[in-house]
Amino acid sequence: MDYHKITLGSKSFFSLVIFTILIENSSWTVFGVNGDWGFESTVEEIENHLSHASTHHGIYDLQVREDDDWQMVQKQGNQFVVNDQPFYVNGFNTYWLMVFAADQSTRGKVSELFHQASSAGLTVCRTWAFNDGQWRALQTSPSVYDEEVFKALDFVISEAKKYKIRLILSITNNWDAYGGKAQYVKWGKAAGLNLTSDDEFFSHTTLKSYYKAHVKTVLNRVNTFTNLTYKNDPTIFAWELMNEPRCTSDPSGDTLQSWIQEMAVYVKSIDAKHLVEIGLEGFYGPSAPDRAKFNPNSYATQVGTDFIRNHQTLGVDFASVHIYADSWISQTISDAHLQFTKSWMEAHIEDAEKYLRMPVLFTEFGVSAKDTGYNTSFRDTLISSVYKTLLNSTKKGGSGAGSLLWQLFPDGTDYMNDGYAIVLSKSPSTSNIISLHSTRIATFNSLCSTKCKWGCKKKTPLEEFLYHDDL
């Protein structure tokens, strides 16, 4: 046979810029990013391994049948699964999709972004399902919604499905951007409540009722493009209770813990099908003093969050962690950022396996171009380091379930850039690293089964490709 193409997911990742697979005279050759590694194997050898896998582990090919594949993401132990196949994640953040979709002049950027992300093999996007009382607000006042903006969110979800991208939807913000808890407090004050702190969002009965009403409205929304209720749509990967919740007024963590317990169960009472995560940055708190050494600074122990305790809450399905060495340690680029990133990730993966028995997703990570000493080479090194740490977990069947870059932008949106934006078309080296990791993850998801328990020890060329150390 002169030419073979393997389809992984719904896309041929092997045709990406990152590398090329050519099968000439029944042999495969894979060329890496720098051309410094490769393997050759007969087609028959690979097919024999796949045949072995099908006999013992329930895998029979790499072609994903699209209709069967688009099912809810679920959790089994410390892995995500879809149709009993592992679902390791390579994804990204673009928080402003709903706002862009609300304006016909910018709606096309949503499609453009999903197209570019899909071409790089990215499968999960995290974005906001809130805009509280701000410009182009979704929720203009408690339980009052702008239908046109809601239709924009409908569009984002329907468009994500077209490109086989699943969404983590965050329900509100700890920070003032897009309203968040500060806006809820403003609404409470306007209603005559005597409120003195934004942290009362977590404890005041009326403010909690505002939040619950928003949860109920969003989860029960019927998409005007697909006619699917959000709570029944497999395009939605998970609900996030809040972006980066903190309650600095109570460093014991009790106030935030109580809120998490109440809201996780409330979300599940409406939607038992979807996964739920908190949205935490991952700081260790009072319940785990021996883990505080992994925090980036002493202040991190005082913000009212408690990684292990918070994630042991009923209704929380997986752990979330953010990675911002340049914000937490120093805004001057150095190798200390890489060292921190590795130890931070390994500590949380260990906790997820040892104490939580759930997957952990690193839902934000990146480096700002505004940092002193920044260059794209360092960004590429940081991203590669994150991916390598995850692959080290993946190949052992560990809890390191994936990561989401902060953040991906399409062309022509530079005015929204916070310093962390990655435009794939303008960043070929970064795009190559992302695409290679996507291919490795997609191949692994296709080849392995949860029934296998990663017990197949046959070291084939394909496995060497998946687990190659040099990213």
Q: Give catalytic status of residue 159 as yes or no.
A: no
One-character DSSP codes across 367-436: --TTSBT--HHHHHHHHHHHHHHHHHHHTTT-SEEEEEEE-B--TT-GGG--S--B-GGG-HHHHHHHHH
Q: What are phi and psi of 246, to 5 degrees?
A: -140, 150
The answer to whether the beta carbons of residues 187 and 210 sit under 8 Å apart is: yes
Q: Which residue bears the tokens 């009052």?
A: 144
Question: Residue 407, preceding bond cis, omega within 30 degrees?
Answer: yes
Q: Checking DSSP bridges between strand 85-86 and strand 89-93, what pairing results, if any?
A: unpaired
Q: Give catalytic status of residue 148 as yes or no.
A: no
- How far is the CA of 258 from the CAs of 52, 239, 262, 270, 422, in angstroms? 50, 18, 6, 19, 37
Structure-token pair, residue 244: 């980066």
Q: What is the rounded distance in angstroms from the CA atom of residue 150 to the CA atom of residue 444?
A: 37
3-state secondary structure of 287: coil
* Cross-strand bridge partners of residue 406: 93
Q: At what angle do helices 104-119 and 147-162 cross, to 10 degrees?
A: 20
Q: What is the rounded distance in angstroms from the CA atom of residue 334 to the CA atom of residue 20?
A: 34
Q: What are phi and psi of 28, to 5 degrees?
A: -105, 140
Eight-class DSSP state of 352: I
The catalytic residue among 244, 281, 353, 463 is 244
The catalytic residue among 200, 240, 281, 364 is 364
Q: Checking DSSP bridges between strand 400-406 and strand 319-323, what pairing results, if any?
A: unpaired
Structure-token pair, residue 431: 């795009």
Q: What is the rounded distance in angstroms from the CA atom of residue 257 to the CA atom of residue 287?
A: 11
Residues taking part in catalysis = 244, 364
